[in-house]
Amino acid sequence: MSAAPPKLAERRAFRTEIWDSPPGFFNSGGTRAIVWYQNDWHTNRLFAVPVLACHFATALRSARLRLVADVLFRSGPEIIMSKAILYDATMCIGCKQCEGACAQQNNLPYDDAVAAESVQSAHKYTVVLTKDDKFMRRLCMHCQKPACASVCPVGALHKTKEGPVVYDVWKCIGCRYCMVACPFSVPKYEWQALNPRVRKCVMCPDRVVAGKQTACAEICPTGATKFGERDDLIKEAKDRISQNPSNYRPHIYGLEEVGGTSVLLIAKANVEDYGYPASERIGDTPMPEYTGRVMERIPDFIPLWTLVLGGIYWVSHRRDEVAIAEAQEKNGHAKGQETRKD
């Protein structure tokens, strides 16, 4: 498969997408129509002004919705019956069809040169790695409590209740905190673009919402990549390991790591050899807790610190006032000498 020239329909500046969005933490859900402008705005400056105007209007509306949702339904997305991917490295034959299907699904170029690349990048969301005739896939782990979503200042990344961690490009300001924060270093950046986007596997959210499998799972000829309910897949992974203990390391990578992920890996080899961080290194604590411990104190800290600062101000200035009043009494005339100018 090679990079086909963009079709006429894709070259249009605007594309409308109907998106069935689940009620999340920051949105009230429902069917939303999203008008994209596909090309970078600098490439068609003509559209920049109206597009930005639309953008602003949408943003305001969404802010209001979010405020309502935030106040009325203050709860995170319930992650029950969420979808997940189980990757069984022992069943993988390294055919790289998942890479091709992923590229097609996400409109990315894919040819022999791209297939030979062994790192995830802005144009390659998933990679099949080979080491000693054993294979391993790398893709976004879709953490249950994703670091990227918690650090994004504008909430451009969020965990859907179905499982995928998705990216709203129209919100992104390009701070790249998600890339720094991700314990698996998954998000990649379009460094050469003038209006760059963060790129990562989003677990085919439109397919998942429609009740279909992800593109990689659908195409996998051996079932090494399996899509399903997370709970079912955990059970299956445990069964596979217990039925064939000599074939696997007794560990499901992603079951507990950083509070659990929606991508589960089982293999005979050590996942660290393929660039995954060691389980001990990343730990079982969900990443957002590290900053959450500090952030949750701020609402209490603000009134307390204001009170302390205000108190200090009052005390130190009261001393002056008293001094002035005493001086007035002493001198017996109305006009006291001012000791302070400001």
Partner 1 sequence: MKFKLTLWRVIFLVIMALGLYSSFVRYFRGLGAVSNMTDQFPWGLWIGFDCLCGVMLAAGGFCMVGAVYLFNVERLHAVVRPAVLTAFLGYLLFIVGLLFDLGRPWFIWHQMIYMNPHSVMFEVGFCVMTYTTVLFFEFLPNVLERFNLQTPIKWIHKIYPVLIVAGILLSTLHQSSLGSLYLIMPSKLHPFWYTPALPFFFFGSAVAVGLAMTIFESTQSAKAFGRQLELPVLVTLGGALLIALWVNALLRFEDYFHRGLLKQIVTPSYEAYFLWLELTLTFVIPITMLSFKKVRLSPQLLYLASISTVLGFITNRLNIALIGFETYVGHHYMPKWTEFSITLMIIAVGFALFGVAARYLPIFGEEEKHAAQPRLSHAADTAVLSHAGD
What residues line the site for partner 1 (CB under 8 A)? 26, 41, 52, 59-60, 62-63, 66, 121-122, 147, 150-156, 171-177, 179-181, 183, 185, 188-189, 191-196, 277, 281-283, 287-288, 290-295, 298, 301-302, 305-306, 309-310, 312-313, 316-317, 319-320, 339-342
Nearest in space to 265 (alpha carbons), one of 285, 280, 279, 244: 279
Nearest in space to 168 (alpha carbons), one of 143, 124, 205: 205
Q: Give the nearer residue to partner 1 in terms of CB position, either 109 or 245.
A: 109
Q: Give the nearer residue to partner 1 in terms of CB position, either 171 or 238.
A: 171
DSSP 63-124: HHHHHHHHHHS--PPP-SS-EEEEEEGGG-----HHHHHHHHHTT---SHHHHH--S-BTTB
Write the single-letter amino acid at 171: K
* Shortest separation between residue 181's beta carbon and partner 1, angstroms: 5
Q: How remote is the C-alpha of 98 from its chain's centroid?
A: 22
Q: Give the nearer residue to partner 1 in terms of CB position, either 63 or 93.
A: 63
CB atoms within 10 A of CB 164: 26
| Max intra-chain CA distance, the chain | 100
* Shortest separation between residue 196's beta carbon and partner 1, angstroms: 4
* Shortest separation between residue 212's beta carbon and partner 1, angstroms: 29
Q: Give the nearer residue to partner 1 in terms of CB position, either 81 or 169.
A: 169
* Shortest separation between residue 127's beta carbon and partner 1, angstroms: 13
* Shortest separation between residue 146's beta carbon and partner 1, angstroms: 11
Distance (Å, whole) CA 56 – CA 49: 11
* Shortest separation between residue 26's beta carbon and partner 1, angstroms: 8
Q: Give the nearer residue to partner 1 in terms of CB position, either 231 or 284.
A: 284
Q: Give the nearer residue to partner 1 in terms of CB position, either 93 or 308.
A: 308
Pairing of strands 263-266, 83-88: parallel
Q: Give the nearer residue to partner 1 in terms of CB position, either 186 or 216.
A: 186
Nearest in space to 323 (alpha carbons), one of 339, 308, 310, 334: 339
Distance (Å, whole) CA 229 – CA 53: 41
How far are the Cα atoms of 122, 152, 188, 206 from residue 180, in angstroms, in the given order? 15, 11, 10, 27
* Shortest separation between residue 290's beta carbon and partner 1, angstroms: 5
